[in-house]
Amino acid sequence: MRRSFIRFIHVRNTSQFVLPKSYKPNRSLLKELPWKTGLEIWWKSLSSNRLATLQKELVELMVSPELEENSGISTEHKKVPLDKDGNYINEVGFKVTNDPTKPTKHLVFIHGYGASLGCFARNFQIINKFKGDENYNYHVHFLDNITFGLSSNPKASNDTIKYWKIPPVAKIELIDNEPTDSKKLYRKYYKLIEGYRLDPENFEQYRSYFAPIMKDLEDFYCTAIDQWRESQGIDKIDWLIGHSYGGYWSSSYAVRHPDKLSSLILLSPVGVERNVHAVTNTNQVTDKIQKPSLDPTNYNFLSRLPILSKKQILYWYYRLPFLPRLLPYLGPWGAQLYFKMWMSKLYKINKLVTKHGGPENIFNNHNDLVYGSKKELRLIIEYLYNAITNGSNSDIYTRYVLTTATVSKWPIYDKYVKALKEKPDELDFDFHIMYGQFDFMNSEAGQKLVQLLQDNKKLATYYEISEGGHNLYIDNPFDTNQTIAEIVKGEN
């Protein structure tokens, strides 16, 4: 496989950009939202159009039309109709026309779970990287995936999905006689225990129940993406970019409709690895004790199961799916709780900039000046709070797609194995996968998927973004934006 690499901060100030004398970096992390501010955020969230208002404010803050560097960029907010049932996808689009006589290239961003298109706020300005191209115009689409944000929230066509009590995964007995030492875990999250045992009858019941649901959910999400494409009159998506849960469905879409995209870019996708609870498991399931594996392409891979507590498992099934809908009922305290969860994650960009020489060495334009500012942090968090408290059927669907160990019941790896076997010539899109340097997703699985594709003569590349975590595009938007731009321009 081509050598994977970490991109150190290389996006230096190469444009002779001079910091305005009025600029003051945000040096203080607000650890707790004042109750009065929490009350204001909560009270305003009760307005039916609050999320749309915040979306508009966020776009104008991140790519201000008043700045000279953003001249020539047209912005649009729209709801794209999907079907006769009135479903639609909410979109924010940025366009740059370099030459009206030239064709237009399309980049499509799809966010992960617990978010909406505004989580890509720090990536909006990527449109500026495509100015001056002599061969193409560019249209960057940021979508609220179906059921999220300002998109419609229909239900998947499967009557066996339960919305109030989520069925558990197949029963598994873990045989572990050694205390867990976090320093000895493989890649920080994985413990190799003595053995495990499944109940064959129970596993087949589990498989027969979840396999059809997984197929129907794939149809649900992928059909929405394709209906959006058709409604927009796009013959072929040039670069489909998905993060986490959005990466899972973007990857599924690529396998399902390989002729409808040219390149796939996955940002820390969830669900790549095989695992013991995969409904695609081809191993013979017996009641004998099995030896686990740390290989994420092996069905004996237990993922995080050996280190999960009973409390974490109960939290997964009985709290997380319903927490977004419960937050508004907590009033200002719910807003404070959500603020505390996100603030440190978003503030980290200030530490990154300071570590690498300060804004004068990193920032290249006026758009960069809002990164990590108090206004930006407050606006993104308030936007995301309003986005999730609307409630989404995907709060439930994620629990069907994923297990308590945050792996998929139908691994991406298996989707590609199947496609390479059944229709290898059709998978002719370029494949790119990125992880953060400190990502909690299984980047080894991503590397092995790249290896699988390369072994089958497909163009596939693996990247790591320096100092990024799972939300690498938020943690280090400088290198994330630059890497995507290089892929688009063919410079990577």
Encode pLDDT of 76-100 as tens digits. Answer: 999 999 999 999 999 999 999 999 9
Which pLDDT belongs to residue 448?
98
**Residue 16 resides in a domain:** no
> What's the predicted TM-score (pTM) here?
0.96
Q: Which amino acid, one-letter code, is at 231?
A: S
**Residue 272 resides in a domain:** yes
| pLDDT tens digits along 261-310 | 999 999 999 999 999 999 999 999 999 999 999 999 999 999 999 999 99
Q: What distance in Å separates the CA atoms of residue 492 and residue 479, rounded to the nearest whole number?
A: 12
Mean pLDDT, residues 380-399:
96
Q: At what angle do helices 394-401 and 200-231 cross, to 10 degrees?
A: 130
How does residue 1 score in pLDDT terms, banded at 50, 70 and 90? very low
**Residue 130 resides in a domain:** yes
**Residue 11 resides in a domain:** no
Which pLDDT belongs to residue 478?
96
Mean pLDDT, residues 213-239:
99
Decide if pLDDT at 3 tops 50: no
Mean pLDDT, residues 396-408:
98
**Residue 9 resides in a domain:** no
| pLDDT tens digits along 255-273 | 999 999 999 999 999 999 9
**Residue 25 resides in a domain:** no
Of the chain, the end-to-end C-alpha distance in Å amounts to 16
257: CATH: 3.40.50.1820
| pLDDT tens digits along 418-472 | 999 999 999 999 999 999 999 999 999 999 999 999 999 999 999 999 999 999 9
The pLDDT mean for the chain works out to 95
Which residue range is the domain that position 481 belongs to? 35-489
Which pLDDT belongs to residue 130?
97
**Residue 198 resides in a domain:** yes
Q: What distance in Å separates the CA atoms of residue 82 and residue 161, rounded to the nearest whole number?
A: 23
Give the number of domains in the chain: 1
- Non-local (6+) Cβ contacts of 150 within 8 A are 51, 52, 55, 79, 90, 116, 144
Q: How many CB atoms lie within 10 A of CB 408?
A: 27
Decide if pLDDT at 134 tops 90: yes
Q: What distance in Å separates the CA atoms of residue 487 and residue 209, rounded to the nearest whole number?
A: 40
**Residue 15 resides in a domain:** no
Mean pLDDT, residues 209-222:
99
Which pLDDT belongs to residue 10?
61
| pLDDT tens digits along 170-215 | 999 999 999 999 999 999 999 999 999 999 999 999 999 999 999 9
Facing residues of 109 across strands?
Answer: 142, 241
Q: What distance in Å separates the CA atoms of residue 405 and residue 326, rounded to the nearest whole number?
A: 24
Q: What distance in Å separates the CA atoms of residue 109 and residue 473, rounded to the nearest whole number?
A: 12
CB distance 369 to 349 below 8 Å? no
Q: What distance in Å separates the CA atoms of residue 250 and residue 271, rounded to the nearest whole number?
A: 12
Which pLDDT belongs to residue 16?
80
